[in-house]
Amino acid sequence: MTIKSIQTLVNDAMQEIKTISADEAYKLFENNNCNLIDVREINELENSGKVQGANHIPRGMLEVYLDPNSPVFQNGQLDQDKEFVLFCAGGVRSALAVKSLKDMGYQKTSHIEGGFASIASSKFKIV
């Protein structure tokens, strides 16, 4: 059995997913055309700050929360008709997360190149 490295998994995912810049994400967010999802862990938000208006769904719970039968959708917290734009600290976890969403059947998905580091130097407001 061959075990794939994280780099191999990310490279494979990058062949199948859409990557956008922080500026492109901001335009989608500003025009209310996306669900902005932060997949970082809670301690990362506490240490680095949060993106105002982003939904926090830790990477480990993503598939559970984004199951169409989950309370997140039943309560109208996310809009399935909008693009799902994900980010993490640097872009690795969000790339894998977007690949997972595509595997679940989501079509309008992307992740932000450079993750929170690029977001922090863009027009997004950090709180």
Tell me which DSSP letter residue 51 carries. B
What separation in angstroms does the CA of 18 have from each of 7, 75, 78, 104?
17, 28, 20, 16
pLDDT at 72: 77
Domains of the chain, residue spans: 6-120
pLDDT at 74: 73
What separation in angstroms does the CA of 85 have from each of 7, 12, 21, 80?
21, 19, 11, 12
What's the mean per-residue pLDDT of the chain?
95
pLDDT at 82: 96
Residue reference for tokens 């679940």: 104
Tell me the whole-structure pTM to 2 decimals. 0.94
Neighbours of 96 (CB within 10 A): 23
Instruction: Give the residue-averaged pLDDT of 96-111.
Output: 97
Q: What is the CATH number of domain 6-120?
A: 3.40.250.10
